Structure 1
Amino acid sequence: MTRSTSSGTITVLGECVADAFTEPATRGPDELALRLLPGGGPANTAVALARLGTPTRFRGRLSHDVFGTFFRRHLSGSGIDLTGSVTASEPSTLAVAALDESGRANYTFHAEGTADWQWTAEELSAAPLDGSLCLHTGSLALLRQPGGSRIEDHLAEAREYATVSIDPNVRPLLVPSAVYRERLPGWCALADILRLSEDDLAELLPGSSPEKACDTWHAAGARLVVITRGGRGAFASLDGLRVAVAAPAVDVVDTVGAGDSFTAGLLHRLAALGHLGGRLDALSLEDVTDACAFAARVAALTCSVPGANPPWLDGVTLQAGVERLARRE
């Protein structure tokens, strides 16, 4: 398991959710079996970053309940710094996931009054960035109140010191898409990097092409916009300069956490190339292409195993070697 390869910390702020996957009952038709895995978009991203060797700090509100203990063990086991996290009195958030034939998860959330959304201004200000190159956030923690608006205020302060990355991770079952559409221009004004999926695009700008959507979000302030497209790779736009990157072929077990792993791979590679810590002023389209290709490989490996279980750097390096050999044959 390879450790740190880049200098500078990336801080990830947001939720850690208990993902419960339905499984066939073993004792009879009146039993429903659940397999519990740690999840939540920001937590998944933090785990993937740490496993790639990026020094990573996770700032979450982790409950004192059995799930919170489970989360801490999982995050610490991947090498994540939890000193900025809060021990919360509220219960953990639970998401029950059912997988369709393509391995995509459909979620039912149990999230009312849970720990993840209760950030106070005092909690957020208590742990400064401490030299972090980048602050990444998004998903439900950026929307659900009362914490969401306070996180937005925190991002505005963080811009003075670090690159800001946002993944909207649209969840219309919990928050209407119209709310995301209303808030997104403000997020673009705060974000240097906006990463979202083509499903998110369909919810946020129905009927819009990726090119038109990127132009809209560039005009609102985001310099780098990356739209992931599952097995078709990713589309990226840097101030209007475009590139499409293919995804490596992989036997898909499920797609849980693939987008989060892509985000981690993107940020990890941009940090290694020296582009995080400011407003991406020296970033070139060539380096965007490099970072997206690396991120696509990380996401593909995540799809090859059950749940949000991103690879360690050794596995990504090995996969890159396999791909090079395949191209020579």
Structure 2
Amino acid sequence: MSPTSASPPSSPPSGAPGPAAPVAVLGECVADAFTVPASGGPAGPAIPALGLEVLPGGGPANTAVALARLGTPTRFLGRLSTDVFGRLFREHLTASGVDLGAAVEAFEPSTLAVADLDAEGRADYSFHAEGTADWQWTDEELATAAAGPASCLHTGSLALVRPPGGEAVERLLERMRERATVSVDPNVRPALVDPAVYRERLPRWCAVADVLRLSDDDLGHLLPGEGLEAAADTFHGHGVTLVVVTLGPGGVFASLDGTRLRVPAPAVEVVDTVGAGDSFMAGFLHALHTGGALGGRLDGLAADRLEAALATGAAVAAATCSVRGANPPWAHQLDGLPGR
């Protein structure tokens, strides 16, 4: 499938700061460790060993990287540790063009996740996240970090549910809604946080969010056994305007105030799916930002423009699946991408 470009609107939504205002992405950076053949070893009898290759990751950080690589002005609101992994995160984000001017220099350690890949390249993570930098947000830190102009605040994942900072992030969403589009991606991690926590908080997130993005796995944890359309109606009932559900090779489902759309996934040879959902969200927000649709309550977002943005997200996600780890493409690597 080759995405087709949608025509930009004649003017930005009422009250919007315009397409020049950056997208702000709030959340965690995670050191993703992948198993590799162990090298070397002690003399004498063989001792079982496990080698690890550590790559920069974390859902919100992946989305910020992908957005910046596509050419969208992107500011990352994160608490970056001063440890060795924190230095890796800063190098990766900066090299991708992400603005770190609002990032907090944190003295707690970085979060580590060890990925176990199955035969289809899907990752199952074990997390080492107690007392780490990403979850320690205060209201004061967030007020300072989010003070700059923004057309959209995108957040979610563990930073939205992990104490002590999760509730402070929720309060920020309420304040940001007054001046920016709010986008939430729960990115449920049942190994680290009980899905019941997400289910309890999700109505509050929907009440302040304009966009709710879920994977099919997320949906299974949040509304077990619920069909796509019924689930979307539940989320609309809580207040969110746009519900997007990514379905892996099954493409993307979306519901815009009850108007349903489906976009197929491009054919791709999958290396792994690490960062695919995060990259989808980046491509999707990139297309909306370039078209001037961000900044308010998505007023006037037409179905054809939404479909083009979904196709952009699917194309970016497919490109990410074709390489190892969360390594999203640069704009010049994608032909025919809407918004370029």
Tell me, yes or no, whether TM beats 0.5.
yes
2:132 is aligned with 1:114: yes
Q: Please give the alpha-carbon distance, in whole angstroms, between the structure 1 residues aligned to 2:273 and 2:213.
A: 17
5+ long unaligned stretches in structure 2: 1-18, 41-45
The within-5 A match list for 1:148-167 is: 148-167=166-185
Return the letter of the residue paired with 1:44: N
Secondary structure of 1:130's match? coil
Q: 2:284 aligns with which of 256, 259, 266?
A: 266
Query: CA–CA distance in 2 between the matches of 1:199 and 1:208?
Result: 12
Aligned to 1:14: 27
In 1, Cα distance between equivalents of 2:217 and 2:184:
16
1:297 Cα deviation after fit: 0.2
- Please show how residues 119-158 of structure 1 align to structure 2 within 5 Å: 119-158=137-176
Partner of 2:210: 192
Q: Identify which of 329, 336, 339 aligns with 1:311.
A: 329
The alignment status of 1:280 with 2:293, answered yes or no, reads no
Which of 1 and 2 has higher RCO (CA within 8 Å, sep 6+)? 2
1:257 paired residue number = 275
Contact between 2:135 and 2:159, CA under 8 Å: does it hold in 1? Answer: yes
Q: Which residue, out of 61, 67, 91, partners 1:73?
A: 91
* C-alpha separation in 2, matches of 1:172 and 1:122: 29
Which has the larger helix fraction? 1
Other-structure match for 2:308: 290
Query: What corresponds to 1:218 in structure 2?
Result: 236
1:233 alignment partner, one of 243, 251, 258: 251
State the 1:129 CA deviation.
4.1
Q: What RMSD over aligned residues (CA atoms) do the two structures have, in Å? A: 1.2
SS of equivalent to 1:136 = strand
Structure 2 match to 1:25: 38
CA contact (8 A) 1:11 1:129 kept: no
1:34 to 38, 52, 75: 52
Classify the secondary structure of the residue corresponding to 1:172: coil
**Unpaired runs of at least 5, structure 1:** 1-5, 321-329
- Paired amino acid for 1:200: D
Q: Deviations over 1:186-239 (max 9, x none)?
A: 000011000110000000000000100000001111101100000111000000
State the distance in 1 between where 2:295 and 2:109 align. Answer: 35
SS in 1 for 2:314: helix
**3-state SS of paired residue (1:317):** coil
> How far 1:319 moved relative to its partner?
7.9
Q: What TM-score does the superposition give when structure 1 sets the normalisation length?
A: 0.94
Map Cα deviations across residues 235-284 of structure 1 (whole Å, 9 max, x no partner).
00000000110011000000000000000011000111111000001101
Kindly indicate whether residue 100 of structure 2 is the aligned counterpart of residue 82 of structure 1: yes
